Chains A and B, each alone.
Chain A
Amino acid sequence: MAFLVEQEGGVVDDVVDGAAASGDTAASFDAYVAEHRNALVRYATFLCGSAAQADDLVQYVLVRLYPRWGTWADPHPYVRRSVTNEFLSWRRRWATRQVHAVPDAALTGEADRRAHVEWTDEPGPDPELWALLGRLPRQQRAAVVLRYWEGLSDDEIGAVLECRPGTVRAHVSRGMATLRAGLEGRRP
Chain B
Amino acid sequence: MTTDDETPDERPDELEWRLHAMFSGRADAVESQLSGPRLRARARQRWSAVRRAVPPLAAAAAVAAIAIGIAVAGSDGGDTHHPGPAGGPTIGSTTGSTSPSRPSSVVVRRSGTTAVPRPSSSGSSPALSPPASSIPTRGRPTHSAPGAEPSRSQVTGSRTTSPTSPRSLGRSSPATRRS
Q: Which residues of A are at the interface with B, using a C-beta cutoff of 8 A?
A: 22, 26, 29-30, 33, 37-38, 41-42, 45-46, 51, 54-55, 59, 62-63, 66-67, 122-126, 129-130, 133, 144-145, 148-149, 166, 169-170, 173-174, 176-177, 179-180, 183
Contacts and interface: CB of A to CB of B under 8 A. Distances in A.
Q: Is the interface of A mostly helix, strand, loop or mixed?
A: helix
Contacts of B43: 37
B79 interface: no
A129 B51 contact: no
Of residues A42, A54, A67, which shows the largest number of chain B Cβ atoms within 10 Å of its Cβ? A42
B12 A180 contact: yes
Given A125-B22, A126-B25, A180-B12, A59 B50 contact: yes
Given A26-B51, A66-B54, A149-B23, A174 B3 contact: yes
Interface of B: 2-4, 6, 11-12, 15-16, 18-23, 25-27, 29-31, 33-35, 43, 46-47, 50-51, 54-55, 58
B26 A166 contact: no
A123 B11 CA distance: 25
27 contacts: A37-B34, A37-B43, A38-B35, A42-B31, A45-B26, A46-B23, A46-B26, A51-B30, A51-B33, A62-B50, A67-B54, A123-B29, A124-B26, A125-B21, A130-B26, A133-B22, A145-B23, A148-B20, A149-B19, A149-B27, A166-B4, A169-B3, A173-B3, A173-B4, A174-B3, A176-B12, A180-B11
